[in-house]
Structure 1
């Protein structure tokens, strides 16, 4: 507890009568309460589970020799591991959903006017559909499609509103819509794979009026903003857990967007770790 108090995870109160030290929550630890709507506990449990800690033992080997630390640790890529392991699949989906609750609030607050003109929206890699459900709740005119691998959407709940779950592979084809939404998907993949995904996104939207809404970090390695350091930490997480995944700078985003069929873009900062990268085919 002494260490946690020094790290401002808990606050210590020393009774004047010399009784036992009492501990209280701080702003930091309030994010870890299990029954809180905005709890980050599922994300913490996921990242500290032995399944995701083991790849770190192969990190230096991965940096020197290449390859995936997760694959070296478990004999398969993280996506195949999730397919074969329902317990890990749930752990992963719960972790992603809890971060979505925080980020989607910032998106709906600071990007709200941009959803008005969208009639249909597909969330590529949408997991169990939390993002799409929240968007449709705020904009009931939108026909929402939650698109992910079949074994992922098989566990997705039914939401109120126009949300349809569709199983498939984003490397093959993506359902058509006025716009494509992707939150923390492209950072899981190499530049080459990202370009394949982006080309399929381009095919899924109309050339005129269509757009791609990417929610990802835009790295500033020497930046001193509140989220800049954690963005670099996430870069290491991608190396440990994916094969070729990485966080990207604006210059790196610009290159893969152009090669993927989106030569025009703008970056919108929001009060969250990721930014919104709005990209257009024309």
Structure 2
């Protein structure tokens, strides 16, 4: 009887831990956004060696009353794998913070930086609709985004240039990283034999531009909402052009359709 009671207690604790883990999982995302907002990755990178906590605090633009909380923030981010610690040179008792492969991608000057994507996806414009998920199941709105903001996603961004630019920057940063992998010699063969390609939802054309440059014989089309491609028509080349439209109505004819992020 006592063993059964212990097993039941263990199950309850495991179940509670599972629930708590999901309740507070948002802390990881928001802590990461905070680190980016405070330029912590750049600060550590520019230091050039393992950076002691005292040096990090002194380098950040924060209120003095918040200094003690940086250690807590860094503990969360170390646990999540975004930073690590190493011994400080000539001092085996002191440790300093260093970047990991993940935080290297958060450096704003890194050509493959995913920071614009992070800042867009964690902006309240995108996070608030998740609070409308249960109401959305009870109404006839197309998406929780519409439930929160009153209009559909694409209409919202056509009216709000600031957030349209935020979203386009996010998609462009993601596309740059994809380009780096997709156009590697190992994968280039997927484009061989094609005469035309349309990048559906191609945004400002980051990915299509790279493909068109690598394959001059391939006619490429960047196809997206009219407000997205507006102003980019003159950035086309001999084998790249921008076309505005609705993919749910018609897509320009081509040998291949590229859907990078849907």
> TM over 0.5: same fold?
yes
1:91 and 1:50 map into 2 onto residues whose CA distance is 12
Specify every segment of 5 or more residues in structure 1 that has no aligned partner in the other structure, as ranges.
Answer: 186-282
- The structure where helix makes up a greater share of residues is 2
> In structure 2, what is the equivalent of residue 103 of structure 1?
178
Matches within 5 A, 1:56-71: 56-63=130-137, 67=141, 68-71=143-146
SS at match of 1:171: coil
Give yes or no for contact 1:38–1:98 (8 Å, CA) kept in 2.
yes
> In structure 2, what is the equivalent of residue 31 of structure 1?
105
Matches within 5 A, 1:1-282: 1-13=74-86, 15=88, 17=91, 22-63=96-137, 67=141, 68-109=143-184, 110-156=186-232, 158=235, 162-185=239-262
Aligned-pair CA distance for 1:3: 1.3
Aligned-pair CA distance for 1:161: 5.3
2:183 and 2:87 map into 1 onto residues whose CA distance is 43
TM-score normalized by structure 1?
0.59
> In structure 1, what is the equivalent of residue 21 of structure 2?
none
Aligned-pair CA distance for 1:17: 4.8
1:77 and 1:59 map into 2 onto residues whose CA distance is 15
Aligned-pair CA distance for 1:143: 1.4
1:11 and 1:66 map into 2 onto residues whose CA distance is 47
Specify every segment of 5 or more residues in structure 2 that has no aligned partner in the other structure, as ranges.
Answer: 1-73
SS at match of 1:32: coil
- Aligned-residue RMSD, C-alpha: 2.4
> In structure 1, what is the equivalent of residue 20 of structure 2?
none
Aligned-pair CA distance for 1:167: 1.4
Give yes or no for contact 1:125–1:148 (8 Å, CA) kept in 2.
yes
TM-score normalized by structure 2?
0.63
Give yes or no for contact 2:196–2:256 (8 Å, CA) kept in 1.
yes
CA separation of 1:174/1:93 partners in 2, compared to 1, >3 Å: closer, same or farther? Answer: same
Give yes or no for contact 2:236–2:242 (8 Å, CA) kept in 1.
no
1:111 and 1:93 map into 2 onto residues whose CA distance is 26
Mean alpha-carbon deviation: is it higher for 25-34 or for 155-164? 155-164
Aligned-pair CA distance for 1:10: 1.2
1:171 and 1:89 map into 2 onto residues whose CA distance is 20
Give yes or no for contact 2:87–2:95 (8 Å, CA) kept in 1.
yes
- Greater length-normalized contact order (CA 8 Å, ≥ 6 residues apart): 1
CA separation of 1:11/1:161 partners in 2, compared to 1, >3 Å: closer, same or farther? Answer: farther
CA separation of 1:9/1:158 partners in 2, compared to 1, >3 Å: closer, same or farther? Answer: same
- The structure where strand makes up a greater share of residues is 1
Deviations 1:44-75 (A, max 9, x none): 00111111111121123334556421111111
Give yes or no for contact 1:136–1:161 (8 Å, CA) kept in 2.
no
Deviations 1:196-253 (A, max 9, x none): xxxxxxxxxxxxxxxxxxxxxxxxxxxxxxxxxxxxxxxxxxxxxxxxxxxxxxxxxx
